[in-house]
Structure 1
């Protein structure tokens, strides 16, 4: 007894031009794919439910291979300033927010990006002190590898001229040594320690809000890293178990921060949709704040090569500990020196048999590093949307010499490396159509040029595979997920247009008609 899905176009992604008319599923599994009349005939008497796609196009279920689900929910609940493009507008928004907050309480906002502002000026304490002297302020950078605060925030945290930079972090200072309120990577923890405590209800609301938005955007699954940041990791894990339950199905693969690993892995439960997958390790920061770890100095600031979150020896040891749990690692690596560090650790402590490590972001991939990667069982977790966000300012940051090996997604595919696609939400918008558009056009929506580094453009087929088959490869499930074919999971994304028959700029208007997980419709437009 099963379901016939018909009335639209089926894009199984088993081949670039392949399309069908109908799919028959039963017990959460794809049984048959083909012409509608033939599928109906083969399963006559078995079809107990019929679902009309209403002219839409069905794809394998979209999976975001790297995001922070709770963080995405927080962004939807909090003040988001990621689209603000001037300091005057930022001041106006923050002043209004401060007027709504009781005196002495924190003003919290997400997503500033100085590359959008005049003279690329960072809104540090000197700027924020003009916003309010009555409230401490915490404003995270869009990359979440840096934040700014005002004088009141520095006072609350006890950060002053005598405060030492923590290991793996950096406090920006005036020439006289006074903190400017701009905190990078591990230095952010000094401020986070004095923030109001986050209660369980808030975390649950953020996850619920995120899940509903993921459904609306057509996602059937996600690989998410959240467990270390909200009080007790075990409590956060249990919230995942509570929220993703019953008919609220979502293929959730958890990246477990190495500092939360012992607690989580010793207390995890069997769950049909929530599974710990990899141990998460950070090796560097981000290009925006010049904390991504480079092998040569930044072109626009020769005084620095970035920040190493851990030493090579520490990354080696963390990798070794992951192997004790029988798990692969998932490593944040943006700069080429950070990537070198991660590869060295994997070479020293190989992945368990049958498992794949995953390297995340890979914005600079030198040829010699790619050669080493091809010898390893790894999946490269890329975020195509970073091209639209980081260009053109990143050209000045890295210099033209490094550019051919930077954001080089097509090169990675052409050299036979397995790649998965994600958004890194809340860093980037969750909408997968934006990721597909960036991968294929290499430009921002609304721009009309040939694209940044146009030789790195992907085909639509390649881009779609990042969010489907590639995401399945990242967790070793390409034999049951990521395609529409018999024996695979009945997870589908149905859009209101066939992307293969429309132009890239038109994709930005595409809308999910249905999101289906395990043969269950978890979202449907009215």
Structure 2
């Protein structure tokens, strides 16, 4: 049966610089059939479901353009210590979780370690004392972890010498070595990836998100493990749209699966390459050293290796998505891309692009590039002054500059590192970063549809587009309404309600 949405504030997001409104939408089989400004023409039509918005606001649903969906599911189930402020509480939490969780051979993973808070509270020896079995205390950045002695002994027993060699003298493991260890730990567990995906999707749709670009295929054993879990979720009728970024370690193997998939619900996307580390671990690769040190960070791949990786990806007619945080790392990526363009009509992606000066921005602007930005990361700038200094802070998380240079961008969370609460991010964009509300909403709708090559079907309310909507309690474009007071009432995907606020 067709559906008629009416009697609300319906914003199409179909125009670049102003808020076009319509009075009604007609949906047929999950697709917008008509929009218009006189819904009374349907008064005498019987075979149509009338959905009275009762003054609420309807806009296109949101797309999160960079997320780790399975990781979000894990975080929703795990203990997180990010808000723990005392050593006594930290000890109690780890001890209790270890006591409850402990099974022979099973690894305990606790998340949320933050250097500024927890470095003085816990070290390798204390984690070894407080936790019974092999334990990973994962940093909030999800790029490193602290191991206890039981974890190290477990690796020794299993002769995992390569992993052991990458653990430093303080019990930490970083970046690509951490990812390798994490994959090994997950392979030893009984993790149900399908359940984690379902948990994460439930969280996303409660925030008005109908589509995500997620990167999970290289962290859970064989790449078919997460892929089969996604197929399982979708085959059971879950309405949710997925763009899968493919880690460079597995993209050649994934190709044969990709060729067999012709499904609008799941699409394979760009090839993900990690270029450098993080600010928190001082492993993001910088032009100038970190404040008070001789350390510039590090590249995960040397320049020659990286260039060959990009050339190989181009031979497979693929685009690249680079995790790039430091300005020197960005300089190297741009130098390679300037000589290795994607085919016409395609673009590469810069994920994070966290430290970027005007010279680098001018180079980005000349290339077919879209930036995946995480607006809430800008909140960290005050802390980053301590390691970057005042001179670089204006170029740190400088998303207003990316916008002002008219570089294509889309907003995202990098969940579970950041929050998938889109309205909270929009509030921050409009408050602290002084964006207007249209720009902020556009960054999660129109812009994100371009990133995912779905601009002809998502992100706008137009005939022929998918019936993916979010209904909000109030008019998000009304400046007199505080964004913090606005709630997601309902999320609709393919014309079906997938979330309704209780």
Task: Normalising by structure 2, report the TM-score.
Answer: 0.92
**Distance in 2 of aligned mates of 1:326 and 1:190:** 27
RMSD of aligned Cα (Å): 2.5
Could you tell me which residue of structure 1 aligns to residue 127 of structure 2? 128
Cα distance in structure 2, aligned partners of 1:54 and 1:223: 33
**Residues 1:245 and 1:194: Cα distance change in structure 2 (over 3 Å):** closer
Question: Once the 2 structures are TM-superposed, how far is the Cα of residue 86 of structure 1 from its aligned partner?
Answer: 3.6
Is the aligned partner of 1:274 residue 2:274?
A: no
Within the candidate set 416, 435, 452, 1:458 is matched to 435
Paired position in structure 1 for 2:41: 41
- Which residue of the other structure, out of 346, 351, 362, is the alignment partner of 2:337? 346
Aligned to 2:32, the other structure's residue is in SS state: strand
Q: Indicate the SS of the match to 1:500.
A: coil
**CA distance in 1 between partners of 2:186 and 2:469 (Å):** 41
The answer to which structure has the higher helix fraction is 2
Which 5+ residue runs of structure 2 have no aligned equivalent? Answer: none
Sort the Cα spacing of 1:427 and 1:45 in 2 relative to 1 into closer, same or farther, 3 A: same
Whole-angstrom CA distance in 1 between matches of 2:123 and 2:53: 51
Write the mapping of 1:404-415 to structure 2, written as runs, cut at 5 A.
Answer: 404-415=394-405
CA distance in 2, matches of 1:462, 1:5: 25
CA distance in 2, matches of 1:267, 1:103: 36
Aligned partner of 1:283 in structure 2 is 275
Structure 1 unpaired stretches of 5+:
173-178, 443-455
Within 1, Cα distance between the matches of 2:277 and 2:69?
20
- 1:222 is displaced (CA, Å) by 0.4
1:387–1:438: 8 Å Cα contact kept in structure 2? no
- Cα deviation for residue 342 of structure 1 reads 1.8
Classify 1:63/1:43 alpha carbon distance in 2 versus 1 (closer, same or farther; 3 Å).
Answer: farther
**Paired residues of 1:198 and 1:230 also in contact (CA < 8 A):** no
Alignment of 1:240-319 (within 5 A): 240-245=230-235, 247-268=237-258, 269-299=261-291, 301-319=292-310
Aligned residues: 494
For the structure 1 residues 309 and 4, does the alpha-carbon distance in structure 2 shift closer, same or farther, using more than 3 Å as the test?
Answer: same
1:485 is aligned to 2:462 = yes
Contact 2:183–2:221 (Cα < 8 Å) also in 1: no
1:374 corresponds to 2:373 = no
Matched with 1:28 is 30
C-alpha distance in 2 between matches for 1:378 and 1:203: 32
For 1:9-24, what aligned pairs fall within 5 Å after superposition? 9-13=9-13, 14=15, 15-24=17-26
Residues 421 and 466 of structure 1 are in contact (CA less than 8 Å); yes or no, is this contact kept in structure 2? yes
Q: Do 1:157 and 1:190's aligned partners in 2 also have CA atoms closer than 8 Å? A: no
SS in 1 for 2:22: coil
State the distance in 2 between where 1:127 and 1:507 align: 43
Q: How far 1:43 sits from its partner (Å)?
A: 9.1
The corresponding residue for 2:225 is 235
The whole-number CA distance in structure 1 between the counterparts of 2:434 and 2:271 is 31
Contact 2:59 2:470 in 1 (8 A): yes
Counterpart in 1 of 2:477? 500
Structure 1 pair 421–324 and aligned structure 2 pair: CA distance change class (3 A): same
Does the aligned pair in 2 maintain the 1:251–1:273 contact within 8 Å?
A: yes
Contact 2:86 2:121 in 1 (8 A): no
- Who is 2:143 aligned against? 145
State the Cα distance separating 1:266 from its structure 2 match.
1.1
**1:391 partnered with 2:381:** yes
What is the CA distance between 1:360 and its match in structure 2?
0.3
Tell me whether 363-372 or 194-203 shows the greater mean CA deviation: 194-203
Q: C-alpha distance in 2, partners of 1:43/1:373?
A: 52
2: distance between equivalents of 1:201 and 1:288?
Answer: 28
Deviations 1:219-271 (A, max 9, x none): 11000001111111123212212202464221211100011112212123222
1:418 Cα offset (Å): 0.6
Match of 1:351, SS state, is coil
1:467 to 2:467 alignment? no
CA distance in 2, matches of 1:321, 1:40: 58
SS of equivalent residue, structure 2 residue 423: helix
Aligned to 1:187, what secondary structure does the other structure show? helix
- What is the distance in 1 between the residues matched to 2:410 and 2:190? 32
1:219 paired residue number: 209
Contact conserved, 2:183 with 2:220, CA < 8 A, in 1?
A: no
Please list every run of at least 4 consecutive aligned residues from structure 1 whose deviation after the TM superposition is greater than 6 angstroms: 163-166
Q: Which residue of 2 aligns with 1:521?
A: 497
- Cα pair 1:237 1:264 within 8 Å, conserved: no
Deviates more, 1:211-220 or 1:18-27: 18-27
Matched position secondary structure for 2:185: coil
In structure 2, how many angstroms separate the alpha carbons of the residues matched to 1:434 and 1:241? 31
Deviates more, 1:18-27 or 1:306-315: 18-27
CA contact (8 A) 2:179 2:219 kept: no
Q: Distance between the aligned counterparts of 1:164 and 1:274, measured in 2? A: 35
1:75 aligns with 2:75: yes
Distance in 2 (alpha carbons) for counterparts of 1:199 and 1:52:
48
Distance 1:244 1:462 in 2: 32
